[in-house]
Every structure is written in structure tokens, then in C-alpha cells.
């Protein structure tokens, strides 16, 4: 369980990144963290990992105060940042060095992931492309079997087959004991994987809901002509006319389009907040 209570955070004297943020994340979910550039996605993830300290409020992870960075907290937390470091060693040496720090690490699982990503553990990190390095670290992170797994833009730099492999692997490791938080700009890469959805904007959580709730409350349609202008929360041109987001008053079953949802939330902040209150 990740509990964020009245968390405020800012870099120096600059504009606050978060103001009195409250958020509870529970095990058994793959949370998708969405937001514009500079909305604070990475800062929130780093607060959760104990790498940044709240200016006010608190952030606790499974009962540990994140900023204490105690070994018992760190061995149950794996954080893959957007810009990561790989030492100039072979993958197998990296695993031999770092895996003993994680009590639930599974070498068998790790080798399976490497095989899936078509990487040999005999290769040196310095000889791999950025995407391959990332895949090796994703494999390592998943094989640590930590209770909390945080990934900042994990699909950046991955090729198209690797993105689908990534989705498949994440879906297979999402257990009831694990909290997975993934931040991304590329919502289409993680469509059908992330649930619930958290949208950050303007120093606060604009939306925090499961896809089921979203589909109950919002309707995503493609129409040839936009008629009910007052009801439409968001519309954009598409090949077949207009893609629109509207309140789902008729309780129709429909698939959530994350990109439309994101744009609708940013374009119509207050309406979205009111609908999900």
C-alpha cells in the first residue's frame, strides 16, 4: 500500500509541483500515471521511491517512510527511471552483483525475460543499444519480485515488438501482492494494461479512477457531425469524422480511449473533476 497524505513538493523556491496531494495505491493493480510534460509524474515517482523528500506531508510505502530509504524498504522496491545507469560489466556479472540485494530475486525468471527479449546474459552493457539495456533492466526489475515496481516511461526507446513483449510480461507479473506504477506519455503503448488511471495536472490529481468507472461515466464515440456541443467534453478530428468524449448518461458499454480521456481531462478539468467526484 502506498499512502500519500497532504504531500506538497517543490524544487527550491520555484512554483510548487504538488500541493496537498492525497493518493492511495493498493496492491494488485497496475497504475498508469499520466500527465503533461512537467506535470510532476517523475517527481511523484521519486517521492514514492524516497529519492525526493516532500516539503510537507508524507509518503509511506508498505508502512515505511519512503525518504528513510531503509534496506528493508529498498529490497521490496524496484525503480526503473527514464534515464538509467548500467555499469560497464556483463549482464551476468550485473546480476551476480545486484541480485543478492533482493531476497525474492529469481534467476530463472530473469533468464526467461532475457530470452523473450532476445538478449544474452553474456553481453556487456556497453555493447548493447539503449533499448536493449532498458529491456535487460526491465527483466531484472521484474525478476526481483519486489512488492513495489515503479517504471518511468518504460516503453520509451523500445521497438514495436518489444512494446508488446513488455505488455505481455507486465500482465504476467501483476500479482495481488504487487503494486506496479507506470508513468507514460505514450498511452497507446500501455492501453489495456494500465488500470486504474491517474492523471496529474496543475499540482494535483485530476483523475484517479479504474477503467470500469471511467467507462461507466464517460462515453467515447466516433461521430460524423458533432451535435450536442454543450454535452461534449472533448472532440477532435479523426479519419471517420470526430472522436468525442461525453458523459455516459445512457450507461452504454464502451471501450476507454486513454488518449481521448487524457485530452478531455486537460481540456475540461472542472467537468471531469465533477463527474468523478
Q: What are the DSSP E strand ranges found in the chain?
A: 2-9, 18-25, 29-35, 56-61, 64-65, 77-80, 148-152, 179-183, 197-201, 204-209, 218-223, 234-238, 241-247
**Residue among 13, 100, 160, 270 that touches other proteins (CB under 8 A):** 100
Nine-digit cell string for 152: 518511468
Binding residues for other proteins restricted to 198-217, rule: CB under 8 A: none
**Residue among 24, 38, 70, 107 that touches other proteins (CB under 8 A):** 70
Applying CB under 8 A, does 107 fall inside the site for other proteins?
no
**Residue among 21, 44, 61, 77 that touches other proteins (CB under 8 A):** 77
**Residue among 22, 88, 175, 212 that touches other proteins (CB under 8 A):** 88
Query: Would you say 198 and 38 are in contact if contact means Cβ atoms under 8 Å apart?
Result: no
Closest separation in Å from C-beta 177 to other proteins: 18
Query: Would you say 261 and 209 are in contact if contact means Cβ atoms under 8 Å apart?
Result: no
Question: Measured from the CB atom, is 86 or 268 closer to other proteins?
Answer: 86
Report the interhelical angle of 107-116 vs 160-173 (nearest 10°): 150
- Give the closest residue to 89 by CA, choosing from 57, 46, 133, 45: 133
How far apart (Å, rounded) are the C-alpha atoms in residues 117 and 199?
A: 30
Applying CB under 8 A, does 72 fall inside the site for other proteins?
yes
Applying CB under 8 A, does 7 fall inside the site for other proteins?
no
Question: Measured from the CB atom, is 28 or 38 closer to other proteins?
Answer: 38
Closest separation in Å from C-beta 47 to other proteins: 10
Q: What is the DSSP letter of 217?
A: H
Closest separation in Å from C-beta 102 to other proteins: 7
Applying CB under 8 A, does 177 fall inside the site for other proteins?
no
Residue 119, SS3 per DSSP:
coil
Applying CB under 8 A, does 97 fall inside the site for other proteins?
yes
Q: What is the DSSP letter of 5?
A: E
Binding residues for other proteins restricted to 36-65, rule: CB under 8 A: 46, 49-53
Give the binding site for other proteins (CB under 8 A).
46, 49-53, 69-72, 74-75, 77-79, 81, 83-85, 87-89, 93, 96-98, 100-102
Amino acid at each position: 500500500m502506498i499512502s500519500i497524505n497532504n504531500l506538497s513538493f517543490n524544487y527550491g523556491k520555484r512554483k510548487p509541483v504538488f500541493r496537498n496531494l492525497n493518493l492511495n495505491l493498493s496492491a494488485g493493480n497496475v497504475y498508469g500515471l499520466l500527465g503533461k510534460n512537467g506535470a510532476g509524474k517523475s517527481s511523484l515517482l521519486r517521492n514514492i521511491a524516497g529519492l525526493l523528500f516532500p516539503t510537507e506531508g508524507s509518503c509511506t510505502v508498505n508502512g515505511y517512510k519512503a525518504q528513510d530509504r531503509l534496506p528493508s524498504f529498498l529490497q521490496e522496491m524496484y525503480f526503473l527511471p527514464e534515464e538509467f545507469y548500467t555499469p560497464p560489466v556483463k549482464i551476468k556479472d550485473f546480476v551476480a552483483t545486484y541480485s543478492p540485494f533482493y531476497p525474492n530475486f529469481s534467476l530463472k525468471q530473469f533468464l526467461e525475460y532475457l530470452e523473450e527479449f532476445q538478449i544474452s546474459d553474456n553481453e556487456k552493457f556497453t555493447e548493447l543499444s539503449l533499448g536493449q539495456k532498458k529491456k535487460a533492466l526491465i527483466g531484472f526489475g521484474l525478476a526481483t519480485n519486489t512488492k513495489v515496481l515503479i517504471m518511468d516511461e518504460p516503453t520509451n526507446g523500445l521497438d514495436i515488438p518489444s512494446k508488446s513483449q513488455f505488455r505481455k510480461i507486465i500482465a504476467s507479473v501483476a500479482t495481488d501482492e504487487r503494486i506496479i506504477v507506470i508513468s507514460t506519455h505514450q498511452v497507446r503503448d500501455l492501453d489495456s494494461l494500465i488500470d486504474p488511471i491517474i492523471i496529474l495536472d496543475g499540482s494535483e490529481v485530476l483523475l484517479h479512477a479504474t477503467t470500469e468507472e471511467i467507462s461507466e461515466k464517460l462515453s467515447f464515440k466516433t461521430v460524423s457531425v458533432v451535435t450536442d456541443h454543450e454535452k461534449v467534453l472533448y472532440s477532435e478530428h479523426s479519419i471517420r469524422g470526430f472522436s468525442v468524449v461525453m458523459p455516459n448518461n445512457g450507461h452504454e458499454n464502451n471501450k476507454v480511449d486513454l488518449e481521448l480521456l487524457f485530452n478531455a481531462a486537460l481540456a475540461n478539468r472542472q467537468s471531469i473533476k465533477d463527474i468523478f467526484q
